[in-house]
């Protein structure tokens, strides 16, 4: 196997509801529209990386239902290698119910379904794809033992682990040691720290850095971010664009970040590239359909450079 990216994570059918507000308990609310689209952080990040060029493997689970087949086909169409996506009997595929509000804010309810079935054994079966990877991306919509095993296999083989700690859940502290980059969303990051006092982005990055990852990235909606490399802080401010739906923006960010690491870009460039992908993914409805192609991504970066 040549060096590739391997993503270990969730796969969902997303129901994206556009609405001007969220319903209150007891309210019957009429929303503007609903779109179904392939989602889940694992699937989104795999497609985000694949559209930028490299070979990408996805390790995850779908249910033995109609959506399971649809999700698998959508990933194949995107060029993602799904040989380590397992179909689990007697469970539904994971579902993401996303309410997209006019200001770009989201409320997301995930019903994990088959994601919950991703076992240590499934991860072991995908050992070849994990060990052969230059970069392994993992998020937290799958069971923690699977996260841990994937990180151990990757690190033992010398692959760089990009851990996107979303949703922010408490993790065994040893998981952070040896991680190449811990990526968190600012709004979620506080939950990873045993600290009640609200912290700013750079304090959060430094505090998370003390847990053991080589680098920490604190992003905001996938469109701007700050990186702490253990010594200095790099910042990328939000790149302008008209925001339509930011469902997949954070995943576009993570996918593009991993591709830039694979291509050994400088950290400043890596951060800018990730933010550019996050912005582009916010300009269309849906997560997976909104992921930028290499051409769109390079075109946007060139336009910014000459603006």
The residues annotated with a catalytic role in the active site are 251
The nearer residue to ligand RIB, 13 or 153, going by C-beta atoms, is 13
Nearest distance from C-beta of residue 302 to ligand RIB, angstroms: 27
- Residue 127 neighbours by CB distance under 10 Å: 16
Site membership for ligand RIB, residue 10 (CB under 6 A):
yes
The nearer residue to ligand RIB, 155 or 284, going by C-beta atoms, is 284
Nearest distance from C-beta of residue 112 to ligand RIB, angstroms: 9
Kindly write out the interface string for residues 205-244 of this chain, putting x where it contacts ligand RIB by CB under 6 A and - elsewhere: ----------------------------------------
- Could you tell me if 204 and 227 are in contact, meaning their C-beta atoms sit under 8 angstroms apart? no
Q: Give me the helix-helix angle, 249-262 and 41-51, nearest 10°.
A: 50
Helices (H) and strands (E) in the chain — how many of each?
10, 13
Kindly write out the interface string for residues 99-138 of this chain, putting x where it contacts ligand RIB by CB under 6 A and - elsewhere: ---------x-x----------------------------
Tell me which of 5, 14, 142, 220 binds ligand RIB, using CB under 6 A: 14
Backbone angles phi, psi at 118, to 5 degrees: -70, 110
Q: Is 111 helix (H, G, I), strand (E, B) or coil?
A: strand
Please, which residues have CB within 8 angstroms of residue 118's CB and are 6 or more apart in sequence?
Answer: 8, 59, 60, 61, 86, 142, 143, 146
The nearer residue to ligand RIB, 134 or 259, going by C-beta atoms, is 259
**Which positions from 268 through 307 interact with ligand RIB, judged by CB under 6 A?**
287
Size of interface with ligand RIB, in residues (CB under 6 A):
17
Residue owning tokens 């969902």: 12
- Could you tell me if 280 and 300 are in contact, meaning their C-beta atoms sit under 8 angstroms apart? yes
Question: Which parts of this chain interact with ligand RIB (CB under 6 A)?
Answer: 10, 12, 14, 39-41, 44, 96, 98, 108, 110, 141, 247-248, 250-251, 287
């Amino acid at each position: 196997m040549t060096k590739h990216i391997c993503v270990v994570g969730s796969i969902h059918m997303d129901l994206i509801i556009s609405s001007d507000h969220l319903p209150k308990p007891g309210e019957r609310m009429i929303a503007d529209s609903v779109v179904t689209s392939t989602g889940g952080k694992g699937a989104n990040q795999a497609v985000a990386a694949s559209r930028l060029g490299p070979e990408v493997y996805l390790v995850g689970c779908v249910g033995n239902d109609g959506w399971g087949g649809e999700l698998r086909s959508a990933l194949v169409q995107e060029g993602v290698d799904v040989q380590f996506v397992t179909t689990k009997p007697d469970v539904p595929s994971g579902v993401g119910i996303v309410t997209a509000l006019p200001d770009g804010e989201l409320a997301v309810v995930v019903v994990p379904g088959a994601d919950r079935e991703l076992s240590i054994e499934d991860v072991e079966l995908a050992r070849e794809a994990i060990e052969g990877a230059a970069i392994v991306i993992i998020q937290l919509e799958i069971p923690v033992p699977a996260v841990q095993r994937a990180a151990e296999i990757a690190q033992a083989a010398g692959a760089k682990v990009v851990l996107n700690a979303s949703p922010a859940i408490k993790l065994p502290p040893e998981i952070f040691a040896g991680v190449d980059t811990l990526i968190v969303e600012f709004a979620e990051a506080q939950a990873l720290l045993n600290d009640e006092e609200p912290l700013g982005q750079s304090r959060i990055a430094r505090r998370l850095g003390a847990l053991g990852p080589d680098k920490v990235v604190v992003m905001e909606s996938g469109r701007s971010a700050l990186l702490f490399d253990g010594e200095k802080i790099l910042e990328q401010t939000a790149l302008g664009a008209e925001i339509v739906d930011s469902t997949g923006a954070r995943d576009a960010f993570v996918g593009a970040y991993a591709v830039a690491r694979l291509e050994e870009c400088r950290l400043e460039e890596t951060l800018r590239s990730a933010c550019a992908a996050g912005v582009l993914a916010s300009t269309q409805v849906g997560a997976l359909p909104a992921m930028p192609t290499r051409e769109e991504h390079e075109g946007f970066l060139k336009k910014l450079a000459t603006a």
